[in-house]
Chain A
């Protein structure tokens, strides 16, 4: 089995677009991980003017990077597929938002597999703040493969 650090090392993202700090737990049914939103992210300057709040698309991105991409890398490795040159594409997301996340806040993302078939991974994903309050929740799906995606 891969270590949590190995999973993160295989992610195809880098700063300033890496929104995963650590993986807490992973098995064939799901994954959980954390990210702390750096106060210095550029988008806080404009979202919103004089009132920095993490954009919903960025929360969604963090949910996808932990709940779908990190998880997908683990699942592919477990099934014996190469994870050296993975290609990913977000194919759908349907998220409801409940609480704002401010600069510097840490979140926990929990993802449960609905299915992983024919390179499509679909998960139920939830994000919580450190008070264990639900921040956002929904379903995200993507294609993940080693060969070129159609």
Chain B
């Protein structure tokens, strides 16, 4: 459980440069949607994915990218990709 909280905190640092909605960012939780809630555009979502790849030393494929639309989905994909290493 603390693992998850730690990962959300790490993710929060990565996405901070790209968010457009401060209020949603402050209240970020598992169900926060990157595009709907944080108002991140699709181009910056790509930058977030590339930053996630660097941070966790993983490769994210196109299918996973298409699913990474919320904090929850991102955490799940990071977990799977890290386990596959």
Contact = CB atoms under 8 A, between A and B. Distances in A.
Contacts, number: 26
Contacts of B65: 118
Contacts of A89: 43
B14 interface: no
Interface residues of B, number: 11
- How many of chain A's residues touch chain B, expressed as a range? 10 to 19
Contacts of B80: none
Given A118-B62, A118-B65, A149 B50 contact: no
Contacts of A49: none
Given A89-B43, A150-B42, 4 more contacts: A91-B41, A115-B50, A118-B46, A150-B35
Interface of B: 35, 41-44, 46-47, 49-50, 62, 65
